[in-house]
Structure 1
Amino acid sequence: MIEKMRFLNITGPKGDIDRVVDTYLSRYEIHLENALSELKTVKDLRPYIEVNPYKEELARAGVLMERYGNLLPEHCGGSISLEKAVEVIRELDGRLKELTARRDELADQRNELQESRDRVAPFIGLNYNVKDILKFQFIKFRFGRISREYYEKFSAFVYDTIDAVMFKCEEETDYVWVVYFVPQKLADKIDAIYASMHFERCYLPDEYEGTPVEAGHVLDSRIRERQSQIDQIEREIQEYVSSRKEELTAAWNRISSFSTNYDVRKLAALTKHDNHNFYILCGWMTEGDAKSLQKEVENDEDTFCIIEDDHDNIMSSPPTKMKNPGLFKPFEMFVEMYGLPSYTELDPTIIIAVTYSVLFGFMFGDAGQGLCLLIGGYLLYRFKKLRLAGIISCCGVFSVIFGLLFGSVFGFEDLLEPVWLRPQQAMTDLPFIGRLNTVFVVAIAIGMGIILMCMVFNIINSLRSHDVERTYFDTNGVAGLVFYFALASVVVLFMTGKPLPAAFILVVMFVIPLLIIFFKEPLTAFVEKKSEGIEGGVGMFITQGIFELFEVLLSYFSNTLSFVRVGAFAVSHAAMMQVVLMLAGAEAGGSVNWGIVIGGNLFVCGMEGLIVGIQVLRLEYYELFSRFYRGSGRAFEPYGKAVQQR
């Protein structure tokens, strides 16, 4: 169902807008419209332009909530004034910035020490004071690494032929870390030889004490000291935030609420008076909320609330707010996927809930698997609030019902006697057709009924939107309804062996509706009293009309046959479970492999359940919605209470 909407104009002194929004609008759901757009005919209006004075505090509070939200309570029952909230945010932000700045400085120092530690680590095998090496004047030294492949070649063929001393320090899988010493005069030559062996040099800063091992210990000690100081500051931050978590949460709620309310100005209009400026707010509310708000502000001398009853004075169309019983609410997801209904349309939620669940149950009729879908879907919907899970649970109910009608429990056909029939075995004799599976016949009958129902809904929607052509002359209007109902009636009478109506009645029921559909454009122009000529001439009109009429007849036929898939899936489900039981040995009468039975049921339940769900949704969108539903509505986007809850 679609909630009935009322359009409101709210006005008062310019400086009173914050009080009104905070006192009234924040407790209701109102879809605000741009007042300047709604009041185009009113002169001397200007936009309400003001900058949020607490924009910076809002940003600060947002950063604090993002960083320390895990330390804060989800809800805060306390209230706080706006001035106190701003003071709390500024104080918290200043103190926490000071602590985080100290922590970041220590972290930078720790990282620098860690880099020095990483540089000296490969040379722990060098048992010599690093600082002394760095002070050599007549001997050049090089710290670095060389790939294992080139190190072995260098040691075997080159090392003994040059004037250099190389000390191997650390070995890795691919590299060997070394230090080599050369006389100052030969440094360039030896460096070139090592470079040809892909020697990668690294530089050690003059900050180490003792041997690499000793330097590593000193650096480790300094790193632990810095980390200990960082941990201490982290504890201080957590203790400080925890000690003031109630204040921070209350301040955030107050400032964010004020900022949200402050943004109402973007949609408000101001009168252009010198001394007494008034704001004007326009928007949509549900009828109940509108009457409650109007009654509440009756005694407010500075606030005026007017409910607009003349829709000719309203520029915007009412937004759509769906309100359905809890059982059908999950199916709103399918409606939203297709498009929200416009305000004047029928809400198809209950329609899709009933037809989708029934068709799914018919196609997936198994009491055991349906019970699993029912329980699993309910638990997911109950605890995770997944709307798709709620849909699955509802479908599971009808799977159980049709499973009992078909006598199928987890694929076993001999545990229960079918209340109605077995899909694979039930056959029906039809004139000119012969023996046909009964579920196919029933599926087509269900399809005919659904198509007729959708035609009725199209007529209702078209009457609401004052669309003459779609109401009376369309293929899904009155003419199409009469033709298709006559066709369905004749088919049923013929198949059941009942006498057909007289030829005159058949001509009236078949020919006249088709002629009305053929001449729908001229008839619409005549009813609406429009003098429109026939485009392209009479010949082109007749040719085009014949092809369109042929397409209409073909679509009636194909749309009806489309429901055969409902029966086909009912039969295929039984066949698939028969294969599972055959693989498990249940058909042979011997010992049953319950592992295969359980695995097969899970596979069929998952795979076929998904396929059936998609196929039923396709039927809903293409065979039902396309006949009566447009989905051109816009969502009701509440400002105030609903915005704060999101």
Structure 2
Amino acid sequence: MLNPEKMSRITVIGPKSRAYKIIDRLHKLKVYHITDHVKTEELDIGSPLGDSEEISEVLVKIRAVSSFLNIDLESHRVHEKKINPASARKKIEGLSKTIDQKSSELKDAEDHIRILQERLDIIEDLKALNLNLEAFHDYKSLDYLFGTIEDSKEIKEELESFDGKCKGLTAGSMGRNLLVLFFDESIRKDIHDKISRRGFSEIDISFIAEEGLKGKPSEEIKKLNEKIMAFEKKRIMINNELYYIKDRWEGYLADAEYNLSVESEKAEAPLRFGATSEAFIIKGFVPSERADKVVKDLNDTSDSRIMIRTEEVDEHDEDIPVKLNNPNPVGFYEWFMDLYTLPKYKEIDPTFLMFLTFPLFYGFMLGDVGYGLVTLTLFLILRTRIKGDFGRLVNAMIFTSISTIIFGVLFAEYFGVELYAPILVNRLHDTQGLMIMAVAIGAVHVNIGLLVGFYNELRSHGFVKAVFEKLSWLVLEAGVVLLALSYTDFISPRPLPWGGFTIIAISIFMIYRGEGAKGLVEIPAIFSHMLSYARLMAVGLASVILAMVVNDLAGGMFAGGIAGIIGGALLLVVGHTINIGLGLISPFLHSLRLHYVEFFTKFYDGGGLRYAPFGAEKQSE
């Protein structure tokens, strides 16, 4: 569990006539991580297989049609049908033409409905003015404007200044002030200037004259409603046809998309190979325990017409993919490594360490039996509903809830109420003891990180570098502790101060030798990182105080009769719900920070290459 799964490098060389069979077999095995070939003078990059372009074109059309029909391709996959690209092209092209036609008809119907509805709204406004539609036809010397205005009374007074050359009508409709003006063409500019200053907004009614509409607005409203209804029926009919098409084709489209995606991946695989005019070369990795089976399967597939070379990997190679090797429940905590960065192949995988300490820190901070039971119930329910990556997180959080319950028992806290004498410490009254515990946990955690870092350096660069880069910090801590003891009565007899100063001086030399000036600058950081674990005390104390305040306020309300009891009960529910919500977020973030910043920086480089076997479902980053 502390190391990624062991990998073997496998190189395959063979004639191009065997390329598809090898690709197909590797795809079915789903264990071979292909290393992309970089073009050199001696070895070119391979070319896609023959039908790659056709498959890509069909896939584009399938996805376009599926998107239009709102088909969830993944949920309808069966994976059983073998899809022929040429046959799929014919079917999809026919379907695409039908979809294009229906799409055009649907857009036409919706456009008509939109335009007719806009006209209907205008005619309904005109109805309020009690004018026939022919009043809005074209005149030789007369013009008109129709729209809405902010203040219709004041505009009437201003229009009187035009000495009868302008007549206006006003009406109210849907909370708006409607205004229609008829005026001599010669004063159009003056009219427009006056009404613009009064907040006039013109409504275009030119379609009345253009289409020669006549009669009462109510008659035209009836006609428009009939037209809208006809286009609505057409729209519904087209949507029903599209729904029928979706119901009939979604299974085929899902299978076709999946199978052709597989074929596309196979067809484009040679782009990752090295190639000559007659041969191909594939380089990659497989888990060592599967290497023999892969070699045997490839030889059987090619009738031993290929050459396969298997090598043990050099841990210092940068291109080795990383496959974490953690059975559940430890594997649930791989979610945190995906969130951060994967370890390099030669590094210790810290997932197991997070499995041990993340719930510990979380429980130490939240530490309440009641809160732990609530969050445990919540995560057990979510576990049945959430799968995939976030499902791993939910499963990981189940263990934090269990830790919360355990620490709640040790702290004797049940929804903020202390039911018996605490087994561990009273968090509210013994803050000094709680602080010492938190910092002590930090010192142990940081030093575990340094020891893991020592092991990593030992594997990577040898004993001497490991001593100077990692063990030197432990020597520094020993010197500081010895110096502190020389000024206290903690042990008797007191050690002499020069002993502590000597060890500190030696450690500083070692740090400089191992990490240079950068190491000297970071000397204060090692102690600030330990003190940073005081947040374990602070976050937990805040939760305790908030719970106590909620309980005290609610307790006071219970003495106020029925209303007080109801209010107090409501306050308890709301207050503790808020505290639990904060308890889910704050301990999570602080525990995560202590691992990523204070702990990982002591030993972890990260930046590992994710193991992505050819043919396997793509894992989200």
Using the size of structure 2 for normalisation, the TM-score is 0.83
In the TM superposition, residue 412 of structure 1 has moved relative to its aligned partner by 1.0
- Partner Cα distance (2:410, 2:76) in 1: 49
String of CA shifts for 1:512-542, please: whole Å, max 9, x gaps. 6852650566689xxxxxxxxxxxxxxxxxx
Kept in 2: contact 1:4–1:286 (CA 8 A):
yes
Rate the CA distance shift 1:458–1:571 in 2: closer, same or farther, 3 A.
same
**Counterpart amino acid of 1:601?**
H
Structure 1 counterpart of 2:410: 405
Unaligned runs of 5+ in 2: none
SS in 1 for 2:38: helix
In the TM superposition, residue 342 of structure 1 has moved relative to its aligned partner by 0.7
- Partner Cα distance (2:155, 2:543) in 1: 71
In the TM superposition, residue 91 of structure 1 has moved relative to its aligned partner by 2.1
1:578 maps to 2:548:
yes
- Partner Cα distance (2:332, 2:19) in 1: 38
Kept in 1: contact 2:5–2:287 (CA 8 A):
yes
Counterpart of 2:365 (choices 363, 366, 369) is 363
1:7 maps to 2:9:
yes
Kept in 1: contact 2:45–2:271 (CA 8 A):
no
Counterpart of 2:386 (choices 372, 384, 402) is 384
Rate the CA distance shift 1:226–1:159 in 2: closer, same or farther, 3 A.
farther
| Fraction of identical pairs, as percent | 22
String of CA shifts for 1:527-579, please: whole Å, max 9, x gaps. xxxxxxxxxxxxxxxxx98x966963x44544443334434544554444333
Structure 2 counterpart of 1:211: 216
**Counterpart amino acid of 1:22?**
D
SS in 2 for 1:322: coil
- Partner Cα distance (1:425, 1:148) in 2: 68
SS in 2 for 1:639: coil
- Partner Cα distance (1:400, 1:379) in 2: 18
In the TM superposition, residue 239 of structure 1 has moved relative to its aligned partner by 1.2
Kept in 2: contact 1:582–1:588 (CA 8 A):
no
Structure 2 counterpart of 1:283: 284
Rate the CA distance shift 1:140–1:398 in 2: closer, same or farther, 3 A.
same
Structure 2 counterpart of 1:79: 81
In the TM superposition, residue 97 of structure 1 has moved relative to its aligned partner by 1.8
In the TM superposition, residue 90 of structure 1 has moved relative to its aligned partner by 1.8
Moved more, 42-51 or 465-474: 42-51
Kept in 2: contact 1:123–1:169 (CA 8 A):
no
String of CA shifts for 1:473-506, please: whole Å, max 9, x gaps. 12x22x43355467669989999966679989x9
Structure 1 counterpart of 2:423: 419
Structure 2 counterpart of 1:63: 64
**Counterpart amino acid of 2:192?**
A
Counterpart of 2:231 (choices 226, 232, 236) is 226
In the TM superposition, residue 391 of structure 1 has moved relative to its aligned partner by 4.0
**Counterpart amino acid of 2:299?**
E
In the TM superposition, residue 393 of structure 1 has moved relative to its aligned partner by 2.7
- Partner Cα distance (2:35, 2:189) in 1: 77
Counterpart of 2:185 (choices 172, 185, 188) is 188
Report how many residues are paired: 598
1:11-22 to 2 correspondence within 5 Å?
11-14=13-16, 16-22=18-24
Structure 2 counterpart of 1:53: 54
- Partner Cα distance (2:155, 2:514) in 1: 99
1:596 maps to 2:565:
no
- Partner Cα distance (1:511, 1:497) in 2: 21
- Partner Cα distance (2:316, 2:591) in 1: 40
- Partner Cα distance (2:540, 2:362) in 1: 9
1:122 maps to 2:92:
no
In the TM superposition, residue 322 of structure 1 has moved relative to its aligned partner by 1.9
**Counterpart amino acid of 2:581?**
G
In the TM superposition, residue 458 of structure 1 has moved relative to its aligned partner by 0.9
Kept in 2: contact 1:297–1:305 (CA 8 A):
no
In the TM superposition, residue 168 of structure 1 has moved relative to its aligned partner by 4.9
Kept in 2: contact 1:26–1:261 (CA 8 A):
no
**Counterpart amino acid of 1:96?**
I
In the TM superposition, residue 27 of structure 1 has moved relative to its aligned partner by 4.2
Counterpart of 1:642 (choices 591, 595, 617) is 617
In the TM superposition, residue 359 of structure 1 has moved relative to its aligned partner by 2.0
In the TM superposition, residue 192 of structure 1 has moved relative to its aligned partner by 4.3
Using the size of structure 1 for normalisation, the TM-score is 0.80
**Counterpart amino acid of 1:95?**
T
**Counterpart amino acid of 1:581?**
N
In the TM superposition, residue 347 of structure 1 has moved relative to its aligned partner by 0.6
String of CA shifts for 1:561-601, please: whole Å, max 9, x gaps. 33344345445544443333332337999998443333332
SS in 1 for 2:300: coil
In the TM superposition, residue 447 of structure 1 has moved relative to its aligned partner by 2.8
**Counterpart amino acid of 1:582?**
D
Counterpart of 1:100 (choices 91, 100, 103) is 103
- Partner Cα distance (2:539, 2:228) in 1: 69
- Partner Cα distance (1:79, 1:129) in 2: 66
1:487-566 to 2 correspondence within 5 Å?
511=502, 514-515=505-506, 517-519=508-510, 552=523, 554-566=524-536
**Counterpart amino acid of 2:578?**
F
Rate the CA distance shift 1:171–1:573 in 2: closer, same or farther, 3 A.
closer
**Counterpart amino acid of 2:614?**
Y
Rate the CA distance shift 1:469–1:460 in 2: closer, same or farther, 3 A.
same
- Partner Cα distance (1:120, 1:359) in 2: 70
**Counterpart amino acid of 1:241?**
K
- Partner Cα distance (2:560, 2:223) in 1: 77
Structural RMSD (CA) = 4.0
Unaligned runs of 5+ in 1: 427-435, 525-543
- Partner Cα distance (2:448, 2:423) in 1: 27
- Partner Cα distance (2:514, 2:111) in 1: 83
1:197 maps to 2:194:
yes
- Partner Cα distance (1:165, 1:108) in 2: 36
**Counterpart amino acid of 2:587?**
V
In the TM superposition, residue 410 of structure 1 has moved relative to its aligned partner by 0.9
- Partner Cα distance (1:512, 1:128) in 2: 103
1:441-452 to 2 correspondence within 5 Å?
441-452=436-447
1:135-150 to 2 correspondence within 5 Å?
140=142, 142-145=144-147, 147=149, 149=151
Kept in 1: contact 2:473–2:507 (CA 8 A):
no
Rate the CA distance shift 1:311–1:329 in 2: closer, same or farther, 3 A.
closer
String of CA shifts for 1:348-373, please: whole Å, max 9, x gaps. 11112211211222232211112222
1:91 maps to 2:66:
no
Structure 2 counterpart of 1:158: 160
Rate the CA distance shift 1:210–1:279 in 2: closer, same or farther, 3 A.
farther
Rate the CA distance shift 1:235–1:622 in 2: closer, same or farther, 3 A.
closer
Structure 2 counterpart of 1:432: none
1:631 maps to 2:613:
no
Structure 2 counterpart of 1:242: 247
Moved more, 331-340 or 262-271: 331-340
1:614 maps to 2:589:
yes
Moved more, 64-73 or 159-168: 159-168
- Partner Cα distance (2:81, 2:415) in 1: 57
